[in-house]
């Protein structure tokens, strides 16, 4: 079996930065620190933080109950009003928002000031997008996940009076999908201002899996079940390689997925810690040894 790692994968700059803030707090044995929402979409990591005293809340109101003195804003960011409400409560806010997400906040703020309606391409329920909407004021905005949803809104007449529009995307969007949306908008809106807000880390991880997936027999995509950039990596890999599996950690691996002569490609979402990737590689090597010894021959036949 040959294990081939994607050229780029795993923790991105933004996640590494926020996780380092939390790790430093653990190292300094600081008490009464929580995060606003799970720090990143990775259960193993959020469990680790919880075991070391950094839990999370989903609502500002829950901060009092936890007697929190410091609140870390997660990588995905939060609405401006959330940050203001936290400050009003007297807690210290440590802003772990990824600078690439902050850039989207600044862009929609400016578009709002310049009176541009805004189209966001992304998942309306994702914390990053919820946060972004908190920086839009006094202009209509729309959130679509793809060109089909945009067509639907157009049929409903939502764009009838719109002559100009600003477009931003979730940082983890796929560029192919965004191109379709922008091209479609250009058909009927005279002025379309598109801002490329897909972050470089997402681009790099996606490009690497585009390159790797066609040349392997199996692809293992490691990352949280709710991590949108991991899901995108899975979709890309699956489009080339039918034997693509999305796992959260080594415990999800199944020996039945592998054959002794397989080339196994590995990639990981931007919120996957290095130690989980290493555990997965070790487990696949363990499977390889079992397959070599033919120990599961009976079970497989
Ligand atoms: S994927 Fe990009 S935008 Fe998201 S946290 Fe990482 S660097 Fe920031």
CA distance 18 to 13: 9
Q: Give percent above pLDDT 90 in the chain.
A: 82
* Catalytic, out of 20, 128, 152, 250: 128
What pLDDT was estimated at residue 88? 94
- Say how many Å lie between the CA of residue 216 and the centre of ligand 1: 27
Q: Is the CB of 15 under 6 A from ligand 1?
A: yes
Active site residue 88: no
Q: Give percent above pLDDT 70 in the chain.
A: 98
Hey, whose CA ends up nearest to atom 5 of ligand 1?
14
What pLDDT was estimated at residue 297? 52
What pLDDT was estimated at residue 295? 65
Q: What is the average per-residue pLDDT within 111-120?
A: 98
pLDDT (tens digit, 9 = 90+) per residue, 4-53?
A: 999 999 988 899 999 999 999 999 999 999 999 998 878 888 999 999 99
Q: What is the average per-residue pLDDT within 88-100?
A: 94
User: What atom of ligand 1 comes closest to residue 200's alpha carbon?
Assistant: 2
| Six-digit token string for 248 | 């959260």
Q: Which of the pair, 292 or 181, is modelled with greater confidence? A: 181
| Average per-residue pLDDT for the chain | 93
What pLDDT was estimated at residue 293? 87
What pLDDT was estimated at residue 228? 83
| Whether residue 301 has pLDDT greater than 50 | no
Report the range of poorest mean pLDDT among 117-131, 142-156, 191-205, 273-287: 191-205
| Whether residue 160 has pLDDT greater than 90 | yes
What pLDDT was estimated at residue 171? 93
Give rounded-to-5 percent helix, strand, coil for the chain. 45, 15, 35
Q: What is the average per-residue pLDDT within 186-208?
A: 92
CA distances from 54 to 28, 71, 139, 223 (A): 12, 10, 38, 21
Alpha-carbon radius of gyration of the chain = 22
| Six-digit token string for 212 | 């790797």
What pLDDT was estimated at residue 40? 82
157 torsion bin: left (phi>0), alpha (psi -120 to 50), beta (else): left
| Whether residue 299 has pLDDT greater than 60 | no
- Say how many Å lie between the CA of residue 171 and the centre of ligand 1: 7
What pLDDT was estimated at residue 267? 98
pLDDT (tens digit, 9 = 90+) per residue, 210-236?
A: 999 999 999 999 998 888 889 999 999
- Say how many Å lie between the CA of residue 135 and the centre of ligand 1: 18
- Say how many Å lie between the CA of residue 75 and the centre of ligand 1: 7
Task: Delineate the domains of the chain, giving CATH numbers in brackets.
Answer: 2-10+200-300 (3.40.1010.20), 13-97 (3.40.50.11270), 100-194 (3.40.1010.20)
Contact 75, 39 (CB under 8 A): yes
Q: What is the average per-residue pLDDT within 112-140?
A: 97
| Whether residue 265 has pLDDT greater than 90 | yes
What pLDDT was estimated at residue 201? 80
Q: Is the CB of 22 under 6 A from ligand 1?
A: no
Q: Is the CB of 101 under 6 A from ligand 1?
A: yes
Q: Is the CB of 14 under 6 A from ligand 1?
A: yes
What pLDDT was estimated at residue 221? 98
């Amino acid at each position: 079996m040959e294990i081939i790692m994607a050229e780029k994968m795993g923790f991105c700059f933004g996640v590494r930065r926020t996780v380092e803030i939390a790790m430093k707090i653990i190292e300094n044995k600081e008490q009464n620190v929580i995060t606003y929402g799970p720090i990143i979409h990775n259960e193993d990591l959020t469990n680790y933080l919880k075991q070391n005293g950094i839990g999370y809340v989903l609502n500002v109101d829950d901060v009092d109950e936890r007697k929190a003195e410091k609140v870390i804003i997660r990588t995905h960011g939060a609405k401006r009003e959330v940050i203001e409400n936290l400050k009003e409560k007297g807690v210290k806010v440590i802003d772990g928002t990824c600078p690439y997400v902050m850039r989207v906040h600044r862009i929609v703020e400016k578009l709002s000031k310049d009176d541009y309606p805004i189209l966001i391409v992304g998942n309306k329920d994702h914390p990053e997008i919820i946060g972004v909407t908190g920086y839009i004021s006094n202009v209509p905005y729309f959130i679509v996940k793809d060109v089909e949803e945009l067509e639907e809104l157009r049929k409903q007449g939502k764009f009838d009076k719109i002559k100009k529009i600003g477009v931003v995307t979730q940082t983890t969007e796929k560029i192919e999908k965004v191109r379709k949306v922008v091209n479609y908008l250009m058909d009927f809106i005279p002025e379309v201002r598109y801002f490329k807000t897909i972050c470089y880390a997402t681009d790099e991880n996606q490009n690497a899996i585009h390159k790797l997936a066609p040349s392997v027999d199996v692809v293992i995509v490691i990352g949280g079940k709710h991590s949108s950039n991991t899901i995108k990596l899975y979709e890309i890999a699956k489009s080339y390689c039918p034997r693509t599996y999305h796992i959260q950690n080594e415990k999800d691996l199944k020996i039945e997925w592998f054959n002794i002569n397989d080339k196994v490609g590995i990639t990981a979402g931007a919120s996957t810690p290095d130690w989980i990737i290493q555990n997965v590689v070790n487990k696949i090597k363990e499977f390889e040894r079992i397959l070599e010894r033919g120990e599961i021959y009976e079970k497989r036949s």
